[in-house]
Amino acid sequence: MVSNASALGRNGVHDFILVRATAIVLTLYIIYMVGFFATSGELTFEVWTSFFSSAFTKVFTLLALFSILIHAWIGMWQVLTDYVKPLAVRLLLQLVIVVALVVYVIYGFVVVWGCVMKLPVREFDAVVIGAGGAGMRAALQISQSGQTCALLSKVFPTRSHTVSAQGGITVALGNSHEDNWEWHMYDTVKGSDYIGDQDAIEYMCKTGPEAILELEHMGLPFSRLDDGRIYQRPFGGQSKNFGGEQAARTAAAADRTGHALLHTLYQQNLKNHTTIFSEWYALDLVKNQDGAVVGCTALCIETGEVVYFKARATVLATGGAGRIYQSTTNAHINTGDGVGMALRAGVPVQDMEMWQFHPTGIAGAGVLVTEGCRGEGGYLLNKHGERFMERYAPNAKDLAGRDVVARSIMIEIREGRGCDGPWGPHAKLKLDHLGKEVLESRLPGILELSRTFAHVDPVKEPIPVIPTCHYMMGGIPTKVTGQALTVNEQGEDVVIPGLFAVGEIACVSVHGANRLGGNSLLDLVVFGRAAGLHLQESIAEQGVLRDASESDVEGSLERLNRWNNNRNGEDPVAIRKALQECMQHNFSVFREGDAMAKGLEQLKVIRERLKNARLDDTSSEFNTQRVECLELDNLMETAYATAVSANFRTESRGAHSRFDFPERDDANWLCHTLYQPQTESMTRRSVNMEPKLRPAFPPKIRTY
């Protein structure tokens, strides 16, 4: 190349090389651009702006602009030198050309810069929102496959609510007696009051033993039998041989199983290089023009920085929303963030009327007293010292389904047989007959909690307990693989591209109208694992998703901007209190149509008040008031969906017990309910009655 230009002299050689080099850069850039738009399939403004969203494209474009400047400069300079002889005119034209080319490059730079996200962008194959058991199990599976995974948590991961799970993980290991996953499946279907999806329940019960043994191999410190196998205790609703005698199916690590599970999964995620973002609060999902979810925006609580987490798959694992009620066993972080994010993105939620009230929350405190206490031999008493559960569940007694036990306690209280105390009427949970040695070895956490929050020593006296909001059976409808679902106009299930949900936020549904004790931790592990297994294959096979435009990302920041700009208005603390009182009074253990209709109208007023609430603290670093206000939005979304759903289901089933419709109505209500956020209306969705490996369990009268 140089020899061909040698006759041009030194400057000519340099110009010749520069022309060739810039021509190569421009040719490669054109090939890159054509390839991008060819794979996109269309040329729209959104596609054009998404072209400039990556850092590589930005740098390449600026290099191409600079190449155009050099290329044009050499060519025009040569033309002026050859054909414009008056020196003054030539210099003037050269100056004009220089200014024009510089302006062109600056303009091009501004255009490119404007097409790039104003927010910082972090890109991963998958982003998992929530670091409880389900989120960490999904993230672990993704990271083990070699995909890049971001794990976002608004608290340090081991502070997630899974850490408070006490009793154990229900799974048919058969360590204490002969057992069978089909017996477990039967109990779960029955416990769900027959609106649990039997294909999903079958998958959970069948694959459960393998998933739990994986945890054992990871180092989870289960309690042990004398022969070294995992200890299993009895829990409510468990039976041998399809409804026979009481089973002992719940694998336990003393009464701190959730703590053991969460720490084990956290260590494994560190080992497998999951990128963990502690104390980051997810704001909203980001959808592209095709309706696919392509990540989320999140707020760093420590610094106030907002970042767009771009991902090919977004997994919601945000847990429950028990804080919509005044009295709950849930942590303060359980504010329905996933429900709110889903509803604002147009994703429907299923069975939101189904809220489990655990029979044994410490009266006046709401702190959970595990079902494992009754599994170890504890029992409930009324003020006359009677074991009243013998009246309501003659066979299972204190180990009947949780909804049955909770209603029984409330009936005792309503009929005047509740125990009196400064915290109001309640029942007593008697454990002292088990002996100090058993309590200290198998229920050490309960001893500590009772002494701290109930101010009683269970070794010497019973614990005051009352039904307390515990678990959200409803959530985002999903496939077994965690893929989020919506329903089209023909009533057919449709997968939402890029969005997954696992754990309590998901409604697979394996719990239906009532969850059995110990099945929640199994749900987390089995379906977190299943979603991860699906993603490790689908991400590798997935084509390029269209990027979100800047307007798509900015749309996810509307709530944050609204709160930041609201300096005047009502105190959000008062609004939150009103919401929780409304839910506690009108949508609790027992429900009635007129009260629920009144409650729904109250929520509409509260929702209007929320639009005019204020944010007093506008600082950036560790602004907990801002986070609480953002959480309040999600509490409102969750409570409203619950109220509409509860008014819609005109029967009593599982945890949804109505005075005005006291019977189960299979003819009309053997189905899921689906709340549509766009219209705030309700539809029905069929229950899956088609397990793959055995015949379905038909609905029958549910007794214990």
Tokens at 164, concatenated? 């408070």
DSSP-derived pairing of the beta strands 121-129 and 149-153: parallel
Q: Are 159 and 135 in contact (CB under 8 A)?
A: no
In the chain, the largest separation of any two C-alpha atoms, in whole Å, equals 116
How far apart, in whole angstroms, are the C-alpha atoms of residue 514 and residue 192? Answer: 5
How far apart, in whole angstroms, are the C-alpha atoms of residue 149 and residue 127? Answer: 6
Task: For residue 591, indicate whether it is catalytic.
Answer: no
Map residue 465 onto helix, strand or coil.
strand
Query: Which residues line the annotated binding site?
Result: 130-135, 153-168, 337, 358, 370, 470, 504, 515, 520-521
DSSP-derived pairing of the beta strands 246-251 and 379-381: unpaired
Give 44's DSSP letter. Answer: -
| Cα three-residue angle 241-245-247, rounded to 5 degrees | 80
Which member of 312, 323, 374, 402 is catalytic?
402
CA nearest neighbour of 480 among 208, 689, 200, 692:
200
| Stated length of the chain | 704
Query: Which residues line the annotated binding site for FAD?
Result: 130-135, 153-168, 337, 504, 520-521
Neighbours of 574 (CB within 10 A): 12
Contacts of 447 (CB under 8 A, 6+ apart): 439, 440, 457, 458, 459
Distance of CA 68 to the CA centre of its chain: 49
Q: Secondary structure of 580-624 in the HEC alphabet?
A: HHHHHHHCCCEECHHHHHHHHHHHHHHHHHHHCECCCCCCCCCCH
Query: Which residues line the annotated binding site for substrate?
Result: 358, 370, 470, 515
How far apart, in whole angstroms, are the C-alpha atoms of residue 294 and residue 312? Answer: 6
Instruction: Just list the catalytic residues.
Output: 402
